[in-house]
């Protein structure tokens, strides 16, 4: 699955920002082509769609506690001494990334 991101203001040194869905979760697409079409359909400038936007592979899992579907990219994974984990946006429980 694919999510759409770009460096804020198109400046490579800036952190990434992502297209979100109506629940403020990462919006996911089946393919890079569908992600590009989504932006073009919303009137985005083709130069931005093809040159500035990044199409990043995302991963999907279910929260072990509440069952919510969580879509995330690798940079959302937090690291500490016990390993890598992701945090559920609904119940804020931690899941070890396996
Ligand atoms: Zn949860």
Q: What is the pLDDT of residues 26-48, one digit of tens each?
A: 999 999 999 999 999 999 999 99
CA of 94 to the centre of ligand 1 (A): 8
Q: What is the Å distance from ligand 1's center to 63 Cα?
A: 5
In this structure, are residues 3 and 36 in contact, taking their beta carbons and an 8 Å threshold? no
Kindly report the average pLDDT of the chain as a whole number: 90
Distance 11 CA to ligand 1 centre (A): 34
Confidence band, pLDDT 50/70/90 cuts, at residue 78: confident
pTM: 0.82
Domain count of the chain? 1
Torsion angle of alpha carbons 91, 94, 85, 21, nearest 10°?
A: 0
Write down the pLDDT at residue 98.
57
pLDDT of residue 85: 84
Print the domain residue range for 10. Answer: 2-96
Residue 4 CA to ligand 1 centre (angstroms): 24
The pLDDT value given to residue 83: 76
User: Can you give the pLDDT at residue 2?
Assistant: 96
């Amino acid at each position: 699955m694919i999510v759409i991101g770009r460096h804020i203001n198109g400046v490579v040194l800036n952190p990434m920002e992502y297209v979100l869905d109506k629940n403020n979760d990462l919006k996911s697409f089946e393919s890079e082509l569908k992600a590009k079409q989504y932006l073009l359909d919303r009137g985005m400038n083709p130069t931005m769609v093809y040159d500035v936007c990044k199409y990043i592979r995302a991963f999907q899992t279910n929260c072990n506690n509440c069952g919510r579907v969580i879509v995330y990219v690798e940079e959302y994974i937090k690291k500490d001494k016990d390993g890598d984990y992701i945090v559920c946006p609904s119940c804020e429980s931690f899941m070890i990334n396996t």
